[in-house]
Structure 1
Amino acid sequence: MYTLRQIFESFRFAWRALKSNILRTVLSLLGVTVGIFAIIAVLTLVDSLEKNIKDSLNFIGTNVIYVDKWPWLADAEGEYRWWDFWRRPNSSYNEYKFLQENLKYSTNIAIYADKGRMTVKRDNNSISDVRLVGASEGYENIFTVNIDNGRYLTTDEIVGGRDVVIIGYEVSKTLFPNDDPIGKVVKIKNRKFTVIGTVKKEGQSFMGTPSNDYVTIVPYTAFRKLYQTGSGRWDEMESSIGIRGLESDLGLVELENEVRGVMRARRGLRPSDKDNFAINRPEALANIIGNLFDVVGIAGWIIGGFSILVGGFGIANIMFVSVKERTSVIGLQKSLGAKNYFILFQFLFEAIFLSLIGGLMGLFLVYLITFIPLGTLVVTLTVKNIVLGLAVSSAIGLISGIVPAAMAARLDPVIAIRAT
């Protein structure tokens, strides 16, 4: 109890010392403020940029692998052998059904195709640059399709290839500005489709990736009436097969191996033959993005580290001056029975207070950045970065103040009292 009271008294002495020299305190913590601001600002911008980019890639789904004609990334040697890929057969509807019947580690599977820059009409209204998607069963479980009004495609509509359509927010707003679109008819390539549902507004993504605001979703078999796809020919419109696995990396690895084996068997490939299909995983893109921003984060630490270093030297210098100014007070305190740790904590707390206040000011400046409009980039100061900023500033205060505080604690009381 006595020790705790002594530590509390050390806090009070340190706080009084800081308040008695306001100007010097402010000048001392500016270095730490700039350092913490530089580090946390860079980390916050990097984290926000990474999150916005990954959110923009949500349209390709999570825990999903894709069976495609083309791989998304170059091979291990950094080479993209397009000349080996262009004559590959496309994913076919029969392969989709074969995978659906034979996969054990999948939770959902769908085949889909899409065509961009479509024009959708309704009477005298029309909207261009719309993405037309032909979706099979399970598509809504691979991708996010938030129905705002109406309903999703039924199994009978998908299997029967009925001329029904789900439209995005902007499509609905343009073609039906004052009407409920459900049950109304729109034209796609001069073919009539009945609207059965609308998708919730998503808004523009950071990277301008496909948005469901400008989408029309029709049954896959209805899409095949408009465009040749799904037969496996290399020269037709491409289809992709999306397969959702279990919610774990191990589950996706098992699924990927299983898909590779089933596809090789379906296409009659011999053990010595190379795959004539690609298995793509969104996690590969996420890992590349994560590695890139790790490098940027390290650069931020280096830039802010120099400022923090200057701030630390500034606090250490002020603490040496403070010890010199209060030498006689220290001698008087020790002569009255103050323990060495009381003097040590007194100056150590003062250094930590200085650094913490500077860190809080730096974090406040970063917080102000989050209110600056940066287009579609949403900047967020996370709890992780706040804790990191406070931890770094506390550590700098501790390191900067330990030597001056130790010197003050070891002063001889008789010599210290005589100091002027």
Structure 2
Amino acid sequence: MNVYMISLGCAKNQVDTEMILGACKNDITLVKSPEEANLILINTCAFIEPARKEAIDTILQMADYKENGAKLIALGCLPQRYKDEIAKLLPEVDRFVTIDEYKDIANIVSSVCNSSYKIRGEFSPLNRIYSTPSYMRYIKISEGCQNHCAFCAIPLIRGTLRSRTIESIVEEVKNEVAQGVYEINLISQDTTKYGYDLYDNKYMIVPLLKELVKIPGDFKIRLLYLYPDIVSDELIDFIKNNDKVMPYFDIPIQHSEDHILKKMVRRGNREYMLNLFNKIRKEIPSAIIRTTLIVGFPYEEESDIDNLIDFMNLVKFDRLGAFTFSLEEGTAATHYPNIIPEEVKQKRYERVMEAQANIALEKNKAMIGKVIEDAFIIGYDEESFMYVARSYAYAPDEVDGAIFVAAHYELELGQRVKVKIMDCDSYSLTGEQCE
């Protein structure tokens, strides 16, 4: 059976997609075009309104291929959150599959396809068809979230925190390293809270890392999605003293102003966060600090954006992504007054991103003339005729930018090279390969 798969949303969704395909891998062939497919699978995102719109638009586009006899299944966050409503809205879909049903995905696919194909497989992290390059993997260490931020629907969609055991994660990473994977990206909704539900209310990210760095092999670990107030001295010290853990701190703060953070039901405050980032810079001068912001939250004033930009200039984030506030059904923020008009939110967003572009350009200019020792090739840019690379300083997504490399000879995907930086813009570096 020919299967065409679309995965929308975050890296955590991408891992689910890989496990879905793994569970169905007997008797299926992945195809690159929906025209070739007997079955079209769409793993949806429903985090914010633009994501829901993208999911619905994608479903409607793919529904056109049913004229060729293809079956259409929509999975994931959209049906998990709106199953009854979405089934009425989109009758074109043959089956909606919630997250809770993933463990039975092989049987569901067989049923939708009228049992013509005997698909029987396990939905498991150890049974995936990978969509990432062979040199890197996402490893999901937990599901759900115990935080109840006023703006966020994730606990409503994904449920409360459910951590995997240390042993199961170690087994998965061992398998990946044995296959030659170099970059291991640990992901969850709140990576710092890993294990709290499973190990007697103890934060277990450092004990997990202690086991992972024992694995023999040439590989690096990156942590993504750290909550500010659980980034402990122990964690900073461990990263500082272990070469296998990249000094990359992805710490979404959402805002800098105390009264906004309180309304967001976020722990921590401006002073705490500033001290945290100063501590990281002091202990690990080579650290990369990335954050995420929400602008236009109820009660926010223009002066709060002024203060937020001041905070950005104090910390000088290496990487920063921002969103305008999206009102999500079922969250505490739906009860807040003072909803800010879209055009005002957009202007504030543009102010924040302009400020970050200036910070990023300043940081990138400081890299000119320096040599990056550990860049690895991730692709080739046909327009510039240059290779595209990343280092530990760049996470594998669109937020962080890339390094463009002029090479002396043909390079391979995943190959590691030294690069001397010659030029830059706000979000990328340009250099040449060093011998």
Same fold (TM over 0.5): no
**Alignment TM-score, normalising by the size of structure 1:** 0.19
Higher Cα Rg: structure 1 or 2? 1
| Higher helix fraction (1 or 2) | 1
Higher strand share: 2
**Higher RCO structure (Cα 8 Å, ≥6 apart):** 1
